[in-house]
């Protein structure tokens, strides 16, 4: 199977997951026990919407100067 042909079949499957198969899948999911539902739901979700690659953001370190000023005021004597 050629790459273009495979992509076409995958596109058809994904469209069907969002279309004709979604009603059936929803009916099946609604009859499952909670633990089975969670497993099936996330497997289906991961298949139909693959995980995005994690993006690493590189932030360049820059030199930061911190200036601390101590300001004191002399209290005037009371009269």
Cα dihedral sign for 38, 41, 47, 49?
Answer: negative
**What integer pLDDT is reported at residue 55 of this predicted model?**
57
Rounded to two decimals, the pTM is 0.43
Confidence of residue 58 (pLDDT cuts 50, 70, 90): low
What's the average model confidence in pLDDT over 8-18? 79
CA 60 to each of CA 64, 70, 77: distance values in angstroms, whole numbers, following the listed order: 12, 31, 53
User: Per residue in 22-31, is it b (16+ CB within 10 Å) or e — as a string?
Assistant: eeeeeeeeee
Q: Report the percent of the chain where pLDDT is more than 90.
A: 8
Structure confidence by residue, pLDDT tens digits, 17-47: 788 888 888 898 899 999 999 898 888 777 7
């Amino acid at each position: 199977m050629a790459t273009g042909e495979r992509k076409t079949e995958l596109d058809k499957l994904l469209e069907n997951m969002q279309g004709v198969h979604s009603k059936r899948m929803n009916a099946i999911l609604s009859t499952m026990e909670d633990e089975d539902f969670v497993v099936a739901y996330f497997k289906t979700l991961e298949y139909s919407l693959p995980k995005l690659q994690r993006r690493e953001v590189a932030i360049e370190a820059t030199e930061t100067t911190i200036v601390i000023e101590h300001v004191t005021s002399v209290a005037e004597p009371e009269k």
